[in-house]
Amino acid sequence: MDINLAGRTAVVTGGSKGIGLAVVRQLAASGAHVITGAKSLSPEIEALAQDKQVIFAETDLADPEGPARLVSMAGDRVHILINNVGNARVRPGGFLSITDDDWVTSLALNLMAAVRATRAALPGMLAAGSGAIVMTCSVNARLPDPAVLDYSAAKAGLAAFAKALSKEVGPHGIRVNTVSPGPVATDLWLGSDGVAATVSHATGVEPGDVERQAAAGSVTGRFSQPSEVADLILYLASDQAANITGADFIIDGGLIPTW
């Protein structure tokens, strides 16, 4: 499918690596002007930013002012907002090991960053009578996991936020959808301090075996690729999805066993 986003301005939170980086690449390849931010600049996003079509800003999106600062770089009009930033910390010590600070940190990045970025972008969308908002959620919103308990709760909140918001702003021409990946081949899962490595350290199981066990939970027997998730996000951000709103799209290789 040929998606043409020429003339559109898109803001992507957490676009320096993983799913966010794949989304930035595909938005830019489709002609959009992309503003993205994260705490640190990766070599991949630095290379993309050599072209003026992509602008990167180092910003802490967990900071209460961070999302609005990023959105403000787009000027008065944001056509597409991709609320992608997030992080999952494995809690091998269980619920009682999760402190108030842990909860605040998780909620700030996995829920409140999206709330704040949306709050900043929405007035311009309402004034224009159009806009597309896509939020990177997670299967853990439906399959809460005690190993990532606070993350699961935050993503469930994100799903509820997106659904409720879609009902409010849909009559004003603004679409809001979520994409819920299962395990994805990114640093969040496979990095040196990712889920597989953390579980390995806590259990003594080799990281590769942790990864294989997680992949085996899917019908397809593999992790999704960031580009596959980005394909879905790009479609939902485009005019081809003009009558889709308030929906959650699962990309998990069949991990969730119900429908």
Q: Where are the alpha helices (DSSP H) in the chain?
A: 18-29, 43-48, 66-72, 100-107, 113-128, 149-169, 187-190, 195-203, 207-216, 226-237
- For residue 132, the cross-strand partners are 80, 175
Residue 90 and residue 126 in contact, taking contact as beta carbons nearer than 8 Å: no
Determine which one of 35, 110, 151, 251 is catalytic: 151
The residues, any chain, with a CB within 8 Å of residue 219's CB and separated by 6 or more, are: 253, 254, 255
Say which DSSP state 223 is in.
Answer: P
Is 151 tagged catalytic? yes
**∠131-106-180 over CA atoms, to 5°?**
50
Q: Which residues are marked as active site? A: 151
